[in-house]
Amino acid sequence: MTGRRFYLDWNASAPLLPEARAAMVAALDLTANPSSVHAEGRQAKRLVEEARRDVAALCNAKPDHVVFTSGASEAVALALTPDWRMGRSPLTYSRLYTSTTDHSIVVGGGRFAKDDVCELPVDGDGVLELDALKKALEAHDRSEGLPLVAVHLANNETGVIQPAAEIAAIVHEAGGVLVLDAVQAGGRVSLDIAALCADFLILAAHKIGGPKGAGALVGNSDVLMPAPIATGGGQERGHRAGTENYAALAGFGAAARNALAVFAEADVLREKRGHIEAAIRARVPEAVIFGEKAERLPNTVFFGIPGVKAETAQIAFDLAGIAVSSGSACSSGKVGASRVLKAMGLGEDVSGIRVSIGHSTGEDEIAAFAEALDRFMSRRQAAA
């Protein structure tokens, strides 16, 4: 179609920030390898280390505890492994515990064998059942190795936020390590790694307005570290070999600075979310907003309309110039029933539409969404 389009799918990927674009363009004028010792190499290396400081600041972590990767997927693969080192001593984590609503790449287990991955249940709002976690870790056989727990801080579909500190207390009491998938949380909730009591956080640049193809594994310390995937070079202090993509990392750093600044305005996002939910309820009283009884990201609304398939509504919105999604964007373009909603006990036939916004989302975009929803429901009622 022609005419203006409205982008309401920030959880899939946030628009590239002007500051990130400018930082990347400036970095592309450099030609040196960051590992080179001459002046040009040191200049490129400085960009990498400035980005490392910016990402660390977003998480209240130390720069030396940030390992850059090609994205969150690689950071997950790096962290989810049975093989770790405590200083120079090898350490084994024999089993991975995650939740049924976690991102598919986390549920996939990374470098763990499939039989060594345990999915734990969530309640009807998508919050991890802490008793189930505690029982599973109490039953864990530590003679074979320690437990590793990896869960999302905020769900990518519903926006539901997990009680990270409570989860961490249970994990640490069992001698385990907690990896938080914080991909959706940057700029929306606090990522203070100490306050969250997490051992590691996973980030993706493009979710906070940086470029695609850059991510990070951020640790609470650098004493305990997973075995690397890519070896051979000394980059990233030996944790991830390969010449750094310093242009992407410069954009990542700029986006991290912005995310830290806009978090203070989370109430603005929450107010906009309220306008979206009010528009849905006014036009579709029977609509269900999934996870609404739990704490959620201030930018995310995941709703379902009884009798309406998510893909049908998504196509209608797209034709009306509105970009929304029917859940995760990491399923090879598939639409249909939500694995997350099924795990929440809502059945295989239940699906939803995700509306996710950012600080630059205007009231005109929300109004356009409301108008498109109104037209969609009017056509359905006329056809009934």
Phi/psi of residue 7, nearest 5 degrees: -100, 110
Contact 315, 376 (CB under 8 A): no
Amino acid, res. 365: E
Residue 147 near residue 133 (C-beta atoms within 8 A): no
**Catalytic residue check, 197:** no
- Please, are residues 117 and 256 in contact by the beta-carbon 8 Å criterion? no
Residue 260: its H or E element: helix 246-262
The CA distance from 368 to 279, in Å, is 11
**Which residues lie below 8 Å from residue 319, measured CB to CB, with a gap of 6+?**
1
Q: How is residue 303 annotated by DSSP? A: E
How far is residue 88's CA from residue 260's CA, in Å, rounded to a whole number? 34
Q: What are phi and psi of 6, to 5 degrees?
A: -125, 125
Neighbours of 275 (CB within 10 A): 15
Write down the catalytic residue from 59, 118, 197, 330: 330
User: Which residues are identified as catalytic?
Assistant: 330
